[in-house]
Amino acid sequence: MAADPSVAVVRPAVGVLALQGDVAEHLRALRESGAAPAVVRRPDELDRVDGLVIPGGESTTMWKLIDVFGLAEQLRKRISGGMPVFGSCAGLILLADRLPDPASGQQTLGGIDMTVRRNAFGRQVDSFERDLVVAGLSGRPYHAVFIRAPWVEDVGPGVEILATDPGTSRIVAVRQARALATSFHPELTPDRRIHQMFVNMVRDQA
């Protein structure tokens, strides 16, 4: 049956925390997944979005900039209040409730009941790609890119494990309520299924 042209497709406003990391790549992926993407650097810009992506990058640098820009309190408030949020790689680290090996002065935003170990898969030279079976994604396996990637060491009872790395059996993708996180970088591949999953999460809470 043909789509009704009178029914408007909702393009939710999804921000990308644009302090450091793969900002442009996430903006492009969100646009291609049906969202209206926007950069977020200031508290007033955070107020204008329905969901937020925390990109891959360098988690210690990202935390320092969050603190400098005065975003920590508001980000924690929005996340704990149920704003949909998606973190990739460094974003997964920042969404963890617990870090066993934080850098000096490093904190997290929290939001997912998990323990995350930074750079657990190794240094830049140890980066790799892997085909994953990701719960909630139909069709072919997801080809994931891991760069200085963290892994999830343990999760609480409210966290759904979406994917594990077949090479190590480590947890690499999780969801808890309206928070989604991956150890790998979906923004660096042409496969938009994970971004589409997140955009649908934002639509569902609108």
Residue from 169, 176, 161, 190 nearest 121 by CA = 169
Whether 185 sits among the annotated catalytic residues: the reply is yes
Buried/exposed 138-151: b ≥16 CB within 10 Å, e otherwise: eeeebebbbbbbbb
> Looking at beta carbons, which pairs linking 119-122 to residues 24 or more positions away fall under 8 Å?
119/148, 119/149, 119/150, 120/149, 120/150, 120/151, 120/153, 120/170, 121/146, 121/148, 121/149, 121/150, 121/151, 121/168, 121/170, 121/183, 122/148
51-54 and 85-88 beta bridge pairing: parallel
The catalytically annotated residue of 73, 89, 129, 195 is 89
The catalytically annotated residue of 25, 26, 187, 195 is 187
What single letter denotes the amino acid at residue 175?
Answer: R
Whether 143 sits among the annotated catalytic residues: the reply is no
Whether 26 sits among the annotated catalytic residues: the reply is no
The catalytically annotated residue of 25, 73, 143, 185 is 185
Q: Which residue has the tokens 């898969």?
A: 121
| Active-site residue set | 89, 185, 187
